[in-house]
Amino acid sequence: MPTMHLSLYVTADEEAMAHEAAAIIRDQYSEAIAKRGVFTIAFSGGSTPIPLYRLLSSPQWAKTLDWSKVIVYWTDERCLAPENEASNYRLARTELLSRVEATRFYRMKGEDAPQSAAEAYAKLLADHFCLIPGEFPRFDCILLGVGTDGHTASLFPGDPALMDTEHLVTDVYNPKLTTARLTLTLPVLNNARCCIFLASGRIKNDVLSTALNLMAAPILPAQMVRPHNGKLCWVIDSNAYQG
């Protein structure tokens, strides 16, 4: 019976948030390796994951995960060169992947034309997850953040991409953004075994008061992430929590 397991962790600070998220990732990793011999994870961008990336690259954690069995993807990417400092790939590469023995990572090609880059990444996922048409990849873990407007990955409020139930990856054009974006679609996020949201800081108080209302019909993209057969974990620090 498909079930969503919902957990909310409120931690003392960002460091504790990183430790909590790392422990959830470790548990998902252990289950994936035991059952399938490989662990698939998709990283988001933004600044919130940085303490987690740095923790996972620390000596005690670098030995916890056998990075030769970890396959890294991205939830979204800005349409710019990989060496651009706004690149989500660059962030994860700098803060984590270059510091552990990670060799299996597949970035979205922000330097390419957005539509063809989205199509190419969707094909890569279909190949890697051995999908037949109409199927969606089932990631072991997807790491997400939430913007103050309630966006997650690069799914923004009111964007037609939120209604896309056909594609795995789509290109997004938001007038408020300086670049086009590439993003996994909601069906992919909601097919994950585990989605972990990270949020920290008082700046997220307001958006969380709506985003964490999972009993209401969702209005924000972050509220629409409800894995239909998996875990939904919100890991927030005490500054982000208004309780």
Instruction: Residue 225: name the closest of 166, 142, 136 by CA.
Output: 142
Please report, as a single letter, which amino acid is at residue 141.
C
Nearer to ligand 6PG, 28 or 48 (CB): 48
Collect all residues with Cβ–Cβ distance below 8 Å to 137 and sequence separation of at least 6.
40, 125, 126, 128, 129, 131, 168, 188, 191
Distance CA 151, CA 194 (A): 18
Least distance between ligand 6PG and beta carbon 212 (Å): 15
> Least distance from C-beta 15 to ligand 6PG, angstroms?
16
- 3-class secondary-structure state, position 40: strand
- Give residues in contact with ligand 6PG (CB under 6 A): 44-48, 75-76, 88, 145-147, 151-154
Between strands 4-11 and 230-237, the pairing is: parallel
Comparing CB distances to ligand 6PG, the nearer of 84 and 133 is: 84
Nearer to ligand 6PG by Cβ, of 151 and 231: the residue is 151
Smallest gap from Cβ 17 to ligand 6PG, in A, equals 11
Place of tokens 């997850």: 129
Q: Which is nearer to ligand 6PG, 32 or 146 (CB)?
A: 146
- Name the residue nearer to ligand 6PG (CB basis): 51 or 230: 51
CB of 144 to ligand 6PG, least distance (A): 6
How far apart, in whole angstroms, are the C-alpha atoms of residue 21 and residue 25?
A: 6
Taking the complex as a whole, how short is the minimal distance between the CB of residue 134 and ligand 6PG, in angstroms? 26
Q: For ligand 6PG, give the closer residue by CB, 89 or 136.
A: 89
First to last CA, the chain: 33
The nearest distance, CB 130 to ligand 6PG, in angstroms, is: 26
Nearest partner of 100 among 16, 27, 22, 34, judged by Cα: 22
